[in-house]
């Protein structure tokens, strides 16, 4: 066959294959790169917009608390709608804290740290320590060999090695209803337990060193100790100060309004807000067809685009979650502040047409995918017993 004719035939064959591909397959066939996305113009933070967001979130949340305390003994029937609003505003506080952790809400890193710490106290969780862990999630999204999701999901091989009782417990603890106690534990209890265990670990280490080396080891105890609870000194101070402010706040408010009313409102708001946050995070990463690869040949771009869903929320809920529903764009560049995510998503929509679109009503279906099949590089349901 003449070379020219061979080239024509190959060209027609390639055109035929490409024309039958969907838009996403055509894009991937041309090796999509991060530089193909328009991101840089949207990475600019605005102190004015950030300040306005803090004010329109924190002040109403404080006001709702004052109103709830005032009306509780007189009009208790007003408490349910007030609690609902408090939950939504606490969600927004958490979402803005999340932006501070990425140093994207304000222009200054220092201001992000300061405001993030205050929002962490409001949410009862150490913001700096949380954001460092969250940064690892961003760095490894879709690499299920290194990061196993919000609930430390097992691989199919690991699950098969569990006893029948442990398999049932594993499945039970990862059902959507368990986000209610899980949400309260995540925000209110875990940070206190972390501090207590960390202090106990340090004291045990100190006693061992003193027994071995005597008082000459006293001056090097802090410098030589490496905690399993916080990898850096900055995280230790964040955990310690957060606990001091949060627990002191609990004591003050119990004294001001009474422990019954305070804990009734506080535990309800934290429980519901924490549960919603966990559900939103879950559905944005655990779904049928989500990119769940081994470390070898793992691709950051595919992890961001195919390992993150677009959560189709009503406009009011997009506001309360600070547009975190545009999750693929957020994973492409965590330095894009929440107030630029929607515009950035629209500007890159032609490259994101095949991003998985989900609604909160899909949570029950998505909640099946709690195991990682490392051979098939995909998330799968728990196998049915024969």
- pLDDT of amino acid 386: 65
- pLDDT of amino acid 216: 62
Angle between helices 233-257 and 127-140 in degrees, nearest 10: 130
pLDDT, tens only, 262-294: 999 999 999 999 999 999 999 999 999 999 999
pTM above 0.85, yes or no: yes
Percent of all residues in the chain with a pLDDT value above 70, rounded to a whole number: 89
Mean pLDDT of the chain: 89
CA separation for the pair 310, 329 (Å, rounded): 9
Q: What is the dihedral of CA 176, 185, 161, 142, to 10 degrees?
A: 70
CA separation for the pair 70, 79 (Å, rounded): 10
Report residue 14 as tokens. Answer: 């390639």
Report residue 6 as tokens. Answer: 């061979």
């Amino acid at each position: 066959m003449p070379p020219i004719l061979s080239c024509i035939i190959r060209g027609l064959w390639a055109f035929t294959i490409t024309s039958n591909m969907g838009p996403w397959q055509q894009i991937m066939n041309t090796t999509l790169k991060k530089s193909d996305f328009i991101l840089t113009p949207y990475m600019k933070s605005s102190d004015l917009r950030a300040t306005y967001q803090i004010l329109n979130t924190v002040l109403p949340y404080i006001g709702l608390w004052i109103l709830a305390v005032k009306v509780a003994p007189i009009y208790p029937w007003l408490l349910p709608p007030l609690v609902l609003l408090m939950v939504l505003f606490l969600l927004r506080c958490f979402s803005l804290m999340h932006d501070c952790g990425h140093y994207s809400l304000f222009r200054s890193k220092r201001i992000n740290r300061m405001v993030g710490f205050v929002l962490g106290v409001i949410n009862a969780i150490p913001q700096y320590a949380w954001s460092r862990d969250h940064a690892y999630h961003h760095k490894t999204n879709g690499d299920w060999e290194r990061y196993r999701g919000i609930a430390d999901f097992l691989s199919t091989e690991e699950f098969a090695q569990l006893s029948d009782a442990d398999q049932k417990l594993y499945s039970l603890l990862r059902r959507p209803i368990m986000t209610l106690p899980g949400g309260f534990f995540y925000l209110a209890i875990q940070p206190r337990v972390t501090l207590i265990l960390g202090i106990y670990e340090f004291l045990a280490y100190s006693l061992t060193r003193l027994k071995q080396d005597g008082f000459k080891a006293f001056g090097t105890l802090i410098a030589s100790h490496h905690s399993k609870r916080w990898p850096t000194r900055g995280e230790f101070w964040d955990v310690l100060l957060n606990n001091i402010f949060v627990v002191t706040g609990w004591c003050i408010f119990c004294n001001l309004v009474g422990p019954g009313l305070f804990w009734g409102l506080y535990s309800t708001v934290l429980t519901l807000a924490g549960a919603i946050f966990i559900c939103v995070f879950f559905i944005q990463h655990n779904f049928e067809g989500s990119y769940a690869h081994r470390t070898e040949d793992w691709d950051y771009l595919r992890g961001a685009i195919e390992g993150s869903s677009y959560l189709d929320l009503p406009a009011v809920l997009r506001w309360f979650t600070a547009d975190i529903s545009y999750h693929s764009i957020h994973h492409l560049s965590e330095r894009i502040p929440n107030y630029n995510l929607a515009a950035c998503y629209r500007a890159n929509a032609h490259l994101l047409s095949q991003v998985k679109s989900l609604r909160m009503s899909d949570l029950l279906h998505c909640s099946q995918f709690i195991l990682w099949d490392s051979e098939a590089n995909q998330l799968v349901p728990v196998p049915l017993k024969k």
